[in-house]
Amino acid sequence: MASGFFAILDDIGALMDDVAVSSKLATRKTAGILGDDLAVNAEKATGFLASRELPVLWAITKGSFFNKLIIVPIALLLNAFFSVAITVILILGGFYLAYEGVEKIIEFLFHRSKAAHEVVAEVKQDDTAAENAKIKSAVTTDFILSVEIVIIALGTTLEQSLTVQIITVSVVAIIATIGVYGLVALIVRMDDLGYKLIKRSGDKGLYSAIGQFLVKMLPIIIKVLAVVGTIALLLVAGGIFVHNIEFLHHLFPNLLSIVKELIIGLIAGLVAIPVMMGGKKVVSLFKR
């Protein structure tokens, strides 16, 4: 009886060792996409009133957890019974990410100054429709990035048992959500921490200098993240196409992979823009 109990413990220990090794490898493999995820979501989680930043971020985080609850079991089932579907889903997601990236570039290049009445209307809208739209956009983008993270993590465990695959992918999904949105929360609350340090120090000494540095750095970090987030969207999209479409994988072999992925992401976005615009027009016609 005792020997049977210890045998079970031994099996559990061996399983945890396999999971630990697989999780470490999967986390390392997904490090790049996690960095892109951080840049994209930090940029999307900013631009709200200070009192709404954490509630909005919590709403996005809950959406991210829900995304992974959907993605993980579906990815495992598709990998077991219909693996081709994973590639199709990744490519469709790549077009969406490319569309978002190119749309941001077009908006930046051709952005017109808003009239006074438009600014007033936008401010009135911020508490409701605009906030919900930003949350929806962030959760949708998180869904695509989460698919990529889960698929990469799953790809590192294909030779392991189903139990190890399930636990490893689940661990990576949880780490990805907590890690990314925990860092995003720290970034968006930098200025509040800075103001508290300034107030506590009486605007004198080292703490005051640190506080002023944090306050001044936040808008710079947000601007940098806006650029990095846009580039990240295009790189992730381009990477999806390069790694899943044989022709693109062997195209321009002497070109740096990061340059090739960026160019392909841009081209995919330019293709997706008219398609998405046409789709939106069709949807608006049906709503009338």
pLDDT at 266 over 90: yes
Written as six digits, the tokens of 130 are 């605009």
| pLDDT (tens digit per residue) in 77-128 | 888 888 788 888 888 888 888 888 898 888 888 875 555 444 445 545 556 7
Of 47 and 271, which is predicted with more confidence? 271
- What pLDDT sits at residue 127? 63
- What pLDDT sits at residue 119? 44
Written as six digits, the tokens of 85 are 């579907």
| pLDDT (tens digit per residue) in 134-186 | 888 888 888 877 887 888 777 777 667 777 778 888 888 888 888 888 888 88
> Residue 160: helix, strand or coil by DSSP?
coil
pLDDT at 19 over 70: no
pLDDT at 17 over 80: no
| C-alpha to C-alpha distance for 157 and 47, rounded to whole angstroms | 39
Residues of the chain above pLDDT 90, percent:
5
Closest CA to 41 of 54, 55, 27, 57: 57
Residues of the chain above pLDDT 70, percent:
75
Provide the pLDDT confidence category of residue 36 given band limits of 50, 70 and 90.
low
Mean pLDDT over 8-34 rounds to 56
Q: What is the DSSP letter of 202?
A: T
Polymer length of the chain: 288
- What pLDDT sits at residue 26? 58
Q: Where are the domains of the chain?
A: 2-287
**Out of 56-60, 125-129, 191-195, 214-218, least confident range:** 125-129
For the chain, what is the mean pLDDT? 77
- What pLDDT sits at residue 6? 45
pLDDT at 32 over 60: no
- What pLDDT sits at residue 267? 94
Mean pLDDT over 236-264 rounds to 87
- What pLDDT sits at residue 116? 47
**Backbone phi, psi, residue 158, to 5°:** -60, -30
Provide the pLDDT confidence category of residue 225 given band limits of 50, 70 and 90.
confident
Q: What is the pTM of this model?
A: 0.70
Closest CA to 100 of 60, 142, 68: 142
Angstrom distances, CA of residue 117 to CA of 86, 125, 126, 132: 46, 12, 14, 21
The one-letter code for the residue type at 277 is: M
